[in-house]
Structure 1
Amino acid sequence: MTATVAPPAPSLDRIADPELHADGDPHALWRWMREYSPVHRHEAGELPAFWSLTKYEDIRAVYRDPATFSSARGVLLRPARLGDDPGGGLTLALSDPPRHKELRSLMADWFSTRAVRGLEETVRATAHKVVAQGLEQGTVDFVDLAGRLSLSVICGVIGIPEEDHAAVHRWTDEAFAAHTSLAAHPRLMEYFMELVYARMAEPTDDLVSSLVNGTVHGELLSEHEILLNCENLIGATENGRLALIGGMLAFLQHPDQWRRLRQDRALLPGAVEEIVRWTSSATHSMRTATRPVTVRGQRVDAGDRVVLWLPSANRDEDVFDDPYRFDIARRPNRHIALASGEHFCIGSTLARAEMRALFTELLDATDAIEQAGPVTRVRSNAVNGPAALPVHLTPTSRATAGPGTR
């Protein structure tokens, strides 16, 4: 019996190279790793040494074991010279139980199913507004259209007045374009500090007020902690925005699926899940082992960094039939693009509502959507998706109306 010989290994040291994720084919690399080296150690260079996990079940198991795989030292790869993330243990994303649970409880009511139902009319109205503006322009960068929807919605939840949305959008776009932390943008942090002080003086019905007045382990959060959590929430909109943009690109590349959705709107919830799986806009999440553990025969020592490649998990052939097919009627679709376990995305229900609203509005208000120029991709190993997606919107021949009146 002839033994199976593995094909030559691709350049595995490029796995964290932003250029690969912008201009190359990381899926080819992940596909090889899933089959031949699903738990792979990368030695230290500019980045510290880390383990790559590429299989769905392994990644899901790590998410569901925060006692062994901690978030408190950072959840993204950082150059070794920078050390651990300074926000470790202070934000929802960078904390472990039991602190994580208490922080989450301060915010959860704003993202519950009930809360999102209460926001749906606002989300639909915002989607109607941004699409109407796009139709007026005719040709628009879908990145801007999706970004204005995503940021406007989270600004409303946080408590940022509508007249300030444009400025906050501009500042966050500047930070996203520079691939820097929002906390490094001085004007944005100054604005949030002013907002925090205003809510300390006069609380209102918004998320910042909940953070200002809520307690963890019986103590109020510091101003620094409140600022970092606000930055964390605003920063998370980049993933939602990229999923919206990536979803539009998927429909442009698979026009049969857009026609299918036009013909059967009942497919929309499933289409949203397939967009989330297909785009997997959070490219990786990192954990630090708290004790020695063996994963698929590989010993991971305490202190080792473990990187979870989410787009790879969501193309795992052991879990998804024909995983490289974009299929809005895919069943089942147990993707983990929004994480799993303790760190399941707190804004997942709201993100899905935004997708439903935007694509419903596009179906209602346009007769055609065509790509109007080249697509460029984000240069990052943390998030992925189009950095530019020019489209031409052709309005429907039917009379237009406000959201909810069709």
Structure 2
Amino acid sequence: MTVSTTSFTDLTDPGLHATGDPHAVWRWMRAEAPVCWHPPAEMPGFWSLTRHEDVRAVYRDPATFSSARGVLLRPVRLGDDPGGGLTLALSDPPRHKRLRSLMAEWFSTRGVRRLEEYIRSATSAVLARAAETGECDFVHDVAGRLSISVICHIIGVPAEDHEDLFRWTNEAFEAHTSLAAHQRFMAYFIDLMDRREAEPADDLMSALVHGEVDGEPLTEEEILLNCENLVGATENGRLALAGGMLAFLEHPDQWRLLRENRELLPGAGEEILRWTSSATHSMRTATRHTVVRGQEIRAGDRVVLWLPSANRDENVFAEPYRFDITRTPNRHIALAAGEHVCIGGTLARAEMRILFSEILDTVRGIEQTGPAVRLRSIAVTGAQSIPVRIAAR
């Protein structure tokens, strides 16, 4: 018998994720309805998967579960994602792998190692700026500013333009709209694309402009949408960084543990990724008839993977609702798995390691001055704002 979520809640209600308790819902679903039908309303109907094993299996089977029709739920009236097949996030093998190869150098272990000096300098600058202002919003003024600075540097945006890009992305994130709909943002990248066409540089934009997939150059639309996707992904980055700070503020024993033993930093980063799980859901579309835990899924059906649920699965994580920077093993899938494992995973880990190292080295104290406000979103999860006072050493 198919179980419907209407019997207890609407997972597509942003209010649930902002002020409710979605983890209580997911906990029930993992136990009672791990493959659960959500009937259509404003959003199309879809199957919900909440267990770690099932989410991971879908990620690792792109032949059966396609990304090309979209990876996020969209209202029925909007139809499929218009970027389908054009971007790294919205493509399937073999094109996905070939498109990924154009960008891989900048996000590889070697590429990120070359970036570390810049990341450390940018981190130091945002922390100093935040300390000078006294009270600030850690999400916006530290995590957000750092994330956008790093990706802009990789793409090839001159430093003097970073503040404009920061402002435009904030406008889009706060309005919950696509960056592709922000006219000034897109106009800027059209101009940058044209400049790199005439004068290539050692940056990601040049790689996209002058690269080829299957012997053909990318179209202007493909270049722009891939840049938009990369910048848009900084929302997940800022939420993970800010969520890590909030976790430490709420669990001061874990901060003391990290301060006393810096060797725990890599593991702390993995636990922050699991704990925050900033991507709330990821969607796939079945390309053929299949069965998951005895439930038939037809070709064309949408399947939604709830990542915060998978990363609290009691069958995988001991005491999953405890923030523990010594957790091992930590088989989270906050950055996906398989072909679509996040290309920026190594970069995200480096940013996290450097940010918290710099805080330990240069900040005397961080005091939360008010309650954190959670986002109203079903796409990303975390704090919209965390008011803090940062005191420099």
TM-score (norm 1): 0.94
What residue number does 2:157 align with? 160
Q: Does 1:360 align with 2:357?
A: yes
Q: Does 1:312 align with 2:309?
A: yes
In the alignment, what sits opposite 1:204?
Answer: 201
SS of residue in 2 equivalent to 1:394:
strand
SS at match of 1:332: coil
Q: What is aligned with 1:184?
A: 181
2:97 to 101, 110, 122: 101
Cα distance in 2 between the residues matched to 1:308 and 1:13: 17
The whole-number CA distance in structure 2 between the counterparts of 1:69 and 1:286 is: 9
Does 2:222 align with 1:229? no
Q: Work out the CA distance in 1 between the residues paired with 2:134 and 2:256.
A: 21
Once the two structures are superposed, residues 100-156 of structure 1 have per-residue CA deviations (whole angstroms, 9 ceiling, x without a partner) of: 011000000110000100110110111111111111112111012111101000000
User: Which residue pairs with 2:276 in the alignment?
Assistant: 279
1:118 counterpart = 2:126? no
1:290 aligns with 2:290: no
Q: Is the 8 A contact 1:13 1:42 kept in 2?
A: no
Q: Can you give the 5+ residue segments of structure 2 that lack an aligned partner in the other structure?
A: none
The corresponding residue for 1:215 is 212
The secondary structure found in structure 2 opposite 1:14 is: coil
Structure 2 contact 9–25 (Cα < 8 Å) conserved: no
Matched with 1:387 is 384
Residue among 54, 66, 70 paired with 1:74? 70
Matches within 5 A, 1:5-24: 12-24=8-20
Question: What SS does structure 2 have at the residue aligned with 1:61?
Answer: helix
RMSD of aligned Cα (Å): 0.9
Cα distance per residue 1:147-182 (max 9 Å; x no partner): 110100000000000000000000000000000000
Aligned pair count? 388
Structure-2 separation of matches of 1:11 and 1:337: 28
* Alignment check: 8 A CA contact 2:138 2:385 kept: yes
Counterpart amino acid of 1:51? W
Question: How far did 1:84 drift?
Answer: 0.3
Among residues 328, 333, 346, which one is paired with 1:331 in the alignment? 328
CA distance in 2, matches of 1:80, 1:129: 44
**Which secondary structure does the structure 1 equivalent of 2:73 belong to?**
coil
Residue of structure 1 equivalent to 2:80: 84
Query: 2:26 matched to 1:30?
Result: yes
Q: Spell out, residue by residue over 1:290-318, the C-alpha distance to the aligned partner (whole angstroms, 9 max, x if none).
A: 00000001000000000000000000000
Per-residue CA deviation, residues 363-402 of structure 1 (Å, 9 max, x unaligned), is 1112221111121111100001111101111223xxxxxx
For normalisation by structure 2, the TM-score amounts to 0.98
1:273 aligns to what SS in structure 2? helix
Residues 1:266 and 1:11: Cα distance change in structure 2 (over 3 Å): farther
Moved more, 243-252 or 9-18: 9-18
Match of 1:64 in 2: 60
Does the Cα contact within 8 Å between 2:336 and 2:342 map onto a contact in 1?
Answer: yes
Equivalent position of 1:400 in the other structure: none
Cα deviation for residue 217 of structure 1 reads 1.4
* CA deviation profile, 1:12-35 (whole Å, cap 9, x unmatched): 441111111011110000000000
Find the residue that maps to 1:146 and give its secondary structure: helix
1:245 paired residue among 242, 255, 258? 242
Residue aligning to 2:260: 263
Per the alignment, residue 128 of structure 1 pairs with: 124
Q: 1:347 to 1:104 in 2, by over 3 A?
A: same
CA contact (8 A) 1:270 1:328 kept: yes
Task: Give the aligned partner of residue 402 of structure 1.
Answer: none
- Cα 1:11–1:246 change in 2 (3 A) is farther
**Is the 1:285–1:307 Cα contact (8 Å) retained in structure 2?**
yes
Structure 1: state its 5+ residue gaps. 1-8, 397-406
Name the CA distance, whole Å, in 2 between partners of 1:121 and 1:214: 27
Letter in 2 for 1:80: V
Paired residues of 1:10 and 1:29 also in contact (CA < 8 A)? no
- Contact kept? 1:288, 1:303, Cα under 8 Å: yes
> What is aligned with 1:399?
none
**Identity of counterpart residues, as a percentage?**
70
